Chain A
Amino acid sequence: MAALSTKPHSHGAVAPVTSRAEHFTSYDVNAFEVPGGREEIWRFTPLKRLAGLHSGAAATGSAAVEVNAAEGVTVETVGRDDERLGKAGVPGDRVAAQAYSSFENATIVTLPGDVKSEPTTVTVTGAGVDAVAYGHIQVKASQFAEGTVILDFRGSGAYADNIEFLVADGAHLTVITIHDWADDAVHVSQHHVKLGRDATIKHTVVTLGGNVVRVTPVVQYAGRGGDAELFGLYFADAGQHQEHRPFIDHAQAKCRSNVVYKGALQGEGAHAVWIGDVLIRVAAEGTETFELNRNLILTDGARADSVPNLEIETGEIEGAGHASATGRFDDEQLFYLQARGIPEDQARRLVVRGFFQELIAKIAVPEVRERLEAAIEAELEAVGT
């Protein structure tokens, strides 16, 4: 990582490194240099459009956090000094550290142990046009808890946050994050997932709206038997930048991960970036992992960058693989459907819906599924016209 070669790491290494294992992390924003755009982790991101989130912009407002909690789920608003915060992971880039250094209040949502809870929805509304805000959310699934949390981001402004998912031993957490921002919004977000022994997370990121949305989900395992499924679904329109950077850090034995991100792009300047990092450390024997990214380019002028990185430090694994493909709309599929009498616009919709179907089918909350289907339909209204 280019940025790291010039300064010491927390553990003292100074040599230029490329391994994800050496990735620098810190709670302190000042431990990071202001990125200039050439750094490996920033080279795809349009820094000029970040409203200063990367260069020290002070908060000028705050995002509204509203929680519609299911029965048994507790919601707390706490100050930044609450000692429970920051346990799921350490900020991995300057914007995440800025958010960690800047938020005033955090929201802690706790799912009760040993029971199954109904879905809880957390709605975050941006501070408004031209406003800058920072936030922090922690979702805790207690031991043997089972439940779903939906994080719904809306509104305007620039917003950076850290979201922690602490999944205790034997708990099963389903998370659906929906970025349905207004056209002006900028959102840079790091997700920190920490999985206990035999804990599972099904983590879905949906990105539809916003000027720039950059999400970095990081998964760490605290014990063996952890299982992380990371799904992503995005639809980039003209001028939108959508960046997803999942990182799975396998440091425990007998854990599993599966990453599937799919995106469609249309319009001039639509840009999707997917950087999928998987690291299997020496201790992570018996790991099973696969990551996949697919991009469907619907029109000229759209661009997708897709980089899967798989680092394996032990040979004692069950399996590891990755796949990435970016393709134009498949004219043969279109021809086949049209040759059966189906009009072109309808045929296109069938193909795109089909492309996302695998992921939409995995969303267990019917309202969210319907909302996504409707959103994709709405996006497709503009295709090919």
Chain B
Amino acid sequence: MATLEIKDLHVSVVSEDAPKEILKGVDLTIKAGETHAIMGPNGSGKSTLSYAIAGHPKYTITSGTVTLDGEDVLEMTVDERARAGLFLAMQYPVEVPGVSMSNFLRTAATAVRGEAPALRHWVKEVKGAMADLDIDPAFAERSVNEGFSGGEKKRHEILQLGLLQPKIAILDETDSGLDVDALRVVSEGVNRYKASGEVGVMLITHYTRILKYIEPDFVHVFANGRIVESGGRELADVLESEGYVKYTGKTEAAALS
């Protein structure tokens, strides 16, 4: 039973002159089998939380702890975190010219699984996973994310999620920029991954619409660098009708009207 435990996490980003504190004491525990929706207005620090957990060099942890099954995540390099079972589906997946998707997927799977997957099974596995996400097989020979549309990039993030089978998945605004069909396909992919084992999901989103497809067990409202309210599914419904005004003092909708 995997557990990701975040305690009193403070994170700064080095901007042009002085470091700026973005996370101001985040406490959150995610256990295998649970789906936590983190909802908040733009600029509240949601994405910073995901990048800090994944180990992006731009962010500095000033205090607090992050552990995965008791292991100190913050002591690990970025790749060690991934191999320990953390996965971040990025809001803006990065293009890597000249590296084919198939080479990238196989290299990643080899690293995470600790051995190269047997070629025959692997080819079948990737083909099946791509078909599940309505990804044209031709993408396997294209450079990683290069020239992909927003929706294609997100599908490939979820493809990696399914192939790398992490213990804890952080989905950073995976729903942003997706049309209805793509949102459905991507959500089904996440649900398949959830159904495949005891896994924990941190679902970061601005809008409630993805929660119609992916059922959250917990909903947390994120504002000004911390979690300001937690509840169940019903909290999302409140956000849907009332927006974030209560937390930010300004009107910002959580639903697409």
Name A residues whose Cβ lies closer than 8 Å to a Cβ of B: 331-333, 335-344, 346-347, 350-351, 353-358
Contacts and interface: CB of A to CB of B under 8 A. Distances in A.
Contacts of B104: 337, 340, 350
A341 B167 CA distance: 13
Nearest to B85: A341
Interface in B77-124: 77-79, 81-83, 87-88, 90, 93-99, 103-104, 107-108, 111-112
Contact of B79 (A338, A353, A354): A338
B56 interface: yes
Contact of A333 (B81, B83, B96, B103): B96
Contacts of A336: 90, 93-94, 96, 144
A382 B76 CA distance: 24
Query: Which 9 interchain pairs have the tightest Cβ spacing?
Result: A354-B98, A357-B98, A341-B82, A338-B78, A336-B94, A340-B108, A341-B111, A341-B112, A354-B99
B111 A340 contact: yes
Nearest to A353: B98
A335 B57 contact: yes
B49 interface: no
14 contacts: A331-B57, A336-B144, A337-B108, A338-B55, A338-B82, A339-B82, A340-B79, A340-B104, A341-B83, A346-B107, A347-B79, A350-B103, A354-B98, A357-B98
A337 B99 CA distance: 11
A338 B94 CA distance: 12
B88 to A, nearest CB: 6
Contacts of A347: 79
Contacts of B57: 331, 335
Contacts of B88: 339
Contact of B108 (A342, A344, A357, A358): A342
B136 to A, nearest CB: 21
B83 A354 contact: no
B78 A354 contact: no
A69 B94 CA distance: 47
Contacts of A337: 96, 104, 108
A339 B78 contact: yes
A346 B111 contact: yes
Nearest to B166: A341
Contacts of A332: 94
A315 B140 CA distance: 42
A365 to B, nearest CB: 20
A342 B79 contact: yes
Given A339-B90, A344-B78, A354-B97, 4 more contacts: A336-B144, A338-B55, A341-B164, A342-B107
A355 B111 contact: no
Interface string B29-65: 0000000000000000000000000111100000000
B187 interface: no
A335 to B, nearest CB: 6
B107 A350 contact: yes
B96 A340 contact: no
Contacts of A351: 96, 99
A335 B78 contact: yes
B67 interface: no
A293 to B, nearest CB: 15
Contacts of B174: none
A336 B143 CA distance: 14
B12 interface: no
Given A341-B112, A342-B107, A358 B98 contact: yes
B79 A344 contact: yes
B99 A340 contact: no
Nearest to B95: A333
Contacts of B205: none
Contact of A350 (B79, B82, B87, B99): B99
A134 B14 CA distance: 56
Nearest to B92: A332
A343 B111 contact: yes
B94 A355 contact: no
Contacts of A343: 79, 111
Contacts of A350: 96, 99, 103-104, 107
A338 B96 contact: no
A340 B112 contact: yes
A352 to B, nearest CB: 9
Contacts of B144: 336
A346 B77 CA distance: 14
A333 B82 contact: no
Nearest to A343: B79
Nearest to A342: B111
Best-surrounded residue of B77, B79, B143 (most CB of chain A within 10 A): B79
A341 B85 CA distance: 9
Nearest to B107: A342
A127 to B, nearest CB: 38
Contact of B56 (A333, A335, A346, A358): A335
A343 B80 CA distance: 8
Contacts of B98: 353-358
Best-surrounded residue of A337, A346, A347, A358 (most CB of chain B within 10 A): A337
Contacts of B103: 350
A275 to B, nearest CB: 25
